[in-house]
Amino acid sequence: MKTFELKGEVRADLGKKSSKAARGAESVPCVLYGGAENVHFTSSASDLRKLIYSPDVFVVNLEIAGKTCKAIMKALQFHPVTDKVMHIDFLEVSENKPVVVEIPVKLEGLAEGVKAGGKLALEMRKLKVKGLYTNVPERIVIDVTSLGLGKSIQVGNVSVDNLEILNAKNAVVAQVKLTRAARGAAAAAASKK
C-alpha cells in the first residue's frame, strides 16, 4: 500500500458550532479511533484532496500535536448538495491487528470471449478484504485470458495471499457478456449444422 503524510490540529471544542467554524476555515473535522483513546482533530481540505479523490488505498502517517501514528481512512461524509467533505473517520492500524478495507480490482489480459465477439464487463470495482495492513496490496489483479464467451469470474474463484475476501462467494467480479453480434453469429453457426 502507498503511504500518505498528513498533519492535523487537535480540536479543543466539539459539536456542530465548532465543526461549522472549522469547515468555514477550509478545514475538515476528523476523528482517529482504534487507539487508546479517540482523537478529534482538523486537517486542511487542500491537504486531504489527494487522499480522498484517488482510486488508491493509502496508509496515512498522521501527525497530530507532535505524535505520529499509522491509520487508514475508514469513512467519509460529503455534503448532500455541494459535495464538500464534511467529516472523515480514520482507524489507527497496528502490525498485529487485522483491518477490513476495500481494494480496487484490475483486470489483465485479453479474454477468449472478447476475441469471439463478446464484451468484457467489470462488475465489482472493489473487493472487501480482511488482513494485516502490511499484507494489503495496492490492487487485486485478475487474469481474464481464459475467460470464455458468456462465462464469469466469481469472488470464490479469486484468492489473495494472506487475506480473507469478505464479499459473497457467488458474487460476479467480471464476466464476458454476449453482444448482439456474437449472438447472431452463434445462431447463424447453429443453423448451418
Task: Identify the pLDDT of residue 187.
Answer: 64
Say if residue 65 is in the same domain as residue 35.
yes
Boundary-marking domain end, from 49, 75, 93? 93
Cell of 58: 493509502
Cell of 183: 449472438
- What percentage of residues in the chain have a pLDDT greater than 70? 93
If one counts the domains in the chain, the total is 2
* 148 close to 112: Cβ distance less than 8 angstroms: yes
Boundary-marking domain end, from 36, 65, 93? 93
Say if residue 174 is in the same domain as residue 121.
yes
pLDDT at 98 exceeding the cut of 80: yes
pLDDT at 188 exceeding the cut of 80: no
Q: 78 lies in which domain range?
A: 2-93
Say if residue 107 is in the same domain as residue 178.
yes
The structure's pTM equals 0.73
**Alpha helices (H) in 25-144, listed in sequence order:** 45-52, 112-115
Task: Identify the pLDDT of residue 94.
Answer: 82
Say if residue 29 is in the same domain as residue 89.
yes
pLDDT by residue (tens digit) across 18-50? 777 777 777 788 888 887 788 888 888 888 888
Say if residue 85 is in the same domain as residue 140.
no
Boundary-marking domain end, from 93, 111, 128? 93
Say if residue 162 is in the same domain as residue 110.
yes
> Can you give the CATH number for the domain in which 79 is found?
2.40.240.10
pLDDT by residue (tens digit) across 102-126? 888 898 888 888 888 888 888 888 8
Task: Identify the pLDDT of residue 33.
Answer: 84
CA-based angle 98:99:104, to the nearest 5?
130
Compute the mean pLDDT over every residue in the chain, rounded to the nearest whole number.
Answer: 82
pLDDT by residue (tens digit) across 65-83? 778 888 888 888 888 888 8
| CA dist., res. 96 & res. 117, Å (int) | 48
Task: Identify the pLDDT of residue 53.
Answer: 82
At 16 the three-state DSSP class reads helix
Task: Identify the pLDDT of residue 9.
Answer: 78
Say if residue 76 is in the same domain as residue 156.
no
